Amino acid sequence: MKQTKKIADNHNKKGIGKTKSSKIKNVTVREDNEITRLIRIILIVIIVFAVFVGITYFVTHQGNDDTANNQETSIQYTEILVGEIWNKGGEYFVLAGREEDQYLSLYATYLDLYQQNINTDAVYYILNLDSVFNKKYFTDGESNLYTENPSEIRFKDATLLKVQDGKVVEAYEGKDSIITYLKGINQKTEE
């Protein structure tokens, strides 16, 4: 916006004994001063910041339940990788199976019962053959269970390994063989 102001110009600045003559000039003044530009910049920054905060909030809270954030995190020590089969001390079992095996929970129940009967911790470990790290050890061909080299071991089916001092001393492969063995060791500990 432009405004026009009339300014009187006094050409006679001495003013003594002379006649005063004054002329009126038209001067244009711009209202776009620095304060209004500063206010506009501040408003634009505030709007951009508000949009950024809104998008950030939406992305970080999209699909999250508040209950999921309140869960306590715990580290599990029972699931191992193939390379860890020989690394545990003493005598223990390694239950190797695939997630789709409906009998895995039954095997684990028998092993839990055995663990309670002998009053000890860490009696068995679980080896998930569907894990990205363990998939290459599952085969449709022949099993190779009595090896000390992790790169040579192969699992054909659900398998229970009994490991003692870093060596596989017994191996039971398949549902019937595993269940028969686990029932047998649980009966011995109950007597």
Q: Domain limits of the chain?
A: 2-67, 79-190
Mean pLDDT across the stretch 85-102?
88
Per DSSP, the three-state class of 180 is helix
Residue for token pair 């004994």 = 17
Q: How many CB atoms lie within 10 A of CB 143?
A: 17
Q: What CA–CA distance (Å, rounded) separates 134 from 85?
A: 12
Indicate if the pLDDT at residue 36 is higher than 50: yes
Residue 101, both tokens: 């095996």
Question: Tens digit of pLDDT for each residue in 142-161?
Answer: 999 988 888 899 999 999 99
Contact 170, 180 (CB under 8 A): no
Question: Tens digit of pLDDT for each residue in 102-133?
Answer: 999 899 888 888 888 876 665 788 999 998 99
Residue for token pair 């209950």 = 67
Position 127: which residue type?
A: L
Helix axes of 175-190 and 104-117: crossing angle, nearest 10 degrees: 20
pTM: 0.58
Helix (H) or strand (E) holding 5: strand 2-10
Mean pLDDT across the stretch 24-36?
65
Helix (H) or strand (E) holding 67: helix 66-69
Q: What pLDDT band is residue 8 in, cutting at 50, 70 and 90?
A: very low
C-alpha to C-alpha distances, 170 to 88, 98, 160, 185, nearest whole angstrom: 16, 20, 8, 13
Residue for token pair 């596989």 = 168
**When comparing pLDDT for 161 and 72, which is higher?**
161
Contact 110, 187 (CB under 8 A): no
> Under CATH, which architecture does the 79-190 domain have?
3-Layer(aba) Sandwich (3.40)
Q: What CA–CA distance (Å, rounded) separates 25 from 5?
A: 8
